[in-house]
């Protein structure tokens, strides 16, 4: 199993689900999200897969990073569905805003915990 652990977070494939675990206290700006997307694509092994994103402890996403994540085709490459967990109400509101204004071709949901997100993602395979 390929594991990437760098300044943005930890990225790995487990049971057919790509896991993207952002570092605590990180600010997701354009440079950071581009690096994280490249890491996710690498561990996806060239296949469209469910993606689990843990934003627990992320300080915030910049507007440029949100736009890149929702609009850029590379950012959406190899994602069949996406389950996200976030630590704050402000982040949940921010991601919900992005989901409403920048719809994706794949299902995306926010969950209260990892177990519920993974259970949903397993059904999306």
Residue 125 placed within a domain: no
Provide the pLDDT for residue 90: 64
Residue 27 placed within a domain: yes
pTM value is 0.90
Structural domains of the chain, count: 1
Q: Residue 14 belongs to a domain with what CATH number?
A: 3.30.750.24
Helices (H) and strands (E) counted in the chain, each on its own, are: 5, 8
Listed in sequence order, the residues at least 6 apart from 50 whose beta carbon sits closer than 8 Å to its beta carbon are 16, 17, 18, 79, 80, 81, 82, 83, 121, 122, 124, 125
The low-confidence residues of the chain, meaning pLDDT below 50, are: none
Provide the pLDDT for residue 87: 80
Provide the pLDDT for residue 57: 85
Asked if 35 contacts 6 with a C-beta cutoff of 8 angstroms, the reply is: yes
To which H or E segment does residue 106 belong? Answer: none
Residue 67 placed within a domain: yes
Provide the pLDDT for residue 121: 97
Backbone φ and ψ for 102, nearest 5 degrees, come out as -130, 75
Domain holding 109, by residue range, is 3-120
Provide the pLDDT for residue 101: 64
């Amino acid at each position: 199993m390929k594991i990437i652990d760098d300044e943005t977070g930890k990225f790995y494939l487990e049971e057919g689900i790509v896991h993207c675990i952002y570092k605590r206290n990180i600010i997701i700006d354009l440079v950071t999200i581009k690096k994280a997307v490249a890491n996710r694509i690498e561990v996806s092994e060239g296949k469209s897969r469910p993606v689990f994103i843990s934003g627990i402890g992320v300080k915030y996403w910049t507007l440029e990073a949100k736009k890149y994540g929702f609009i850029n085709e590379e950012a959406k490459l190899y994602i069949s569905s996406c389950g996200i967990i976030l630590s704050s109400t402000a982040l949940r509101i921010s991601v919900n805003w992005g989901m409403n204004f920048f719809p994706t071709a794949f299902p995306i949901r926010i969950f209260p915990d990892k177990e519920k997100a993974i259970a949903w993602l397993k059904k999306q395979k």
